[in-house]
Amino acid sequence: MTLKDHTLNFEHEYIFVPSTKEKLKKNKHSILSNIALAVVGYKVGDIIHWPFKDGERKIEIVKVEAWEG
């Protein structure tokens, strides 16, 4: 999934995996992470305002792809 953070002005690709397979150095984030929970139920083009630890951020879903691994 590619997300654009309008608050911090960057775009990043995230791979959401079960918590036991999380490996941040390989860009694999837990499905229970803040960013994963923020985008559950949304689709490409949606913009979400979500309260992260460092304050509310505006996140846009840019692209969603199935991951097999």
| Mean pLDDT calculated for residue range 40-69 | 89
> What are the tokens at 46?
């949606």
Model confidence pLDDT, tens digit, residues 39-52: 999 999 999 998 98
Model confidence pLDDT, tens digit, residues 10-37: 999 999 999 999 999 998 999 999 889 8
How far apart are alpha carbons 6 and 36 in whole angstroms? 17
pLDDT at 65: 86
Question: Model pTM?
Answer: 0.81
Instruction: List, in sequence order, every beta strand (DSSP E) within the chain.
Output: 2-5, 10-13, 15-17, 28-30, 47-52, 55-63
At 34 the three-state DSSP class reads helix
Higher-scoring residue by pLDDT: 66, 9? 9
pLDDT at 67: 65
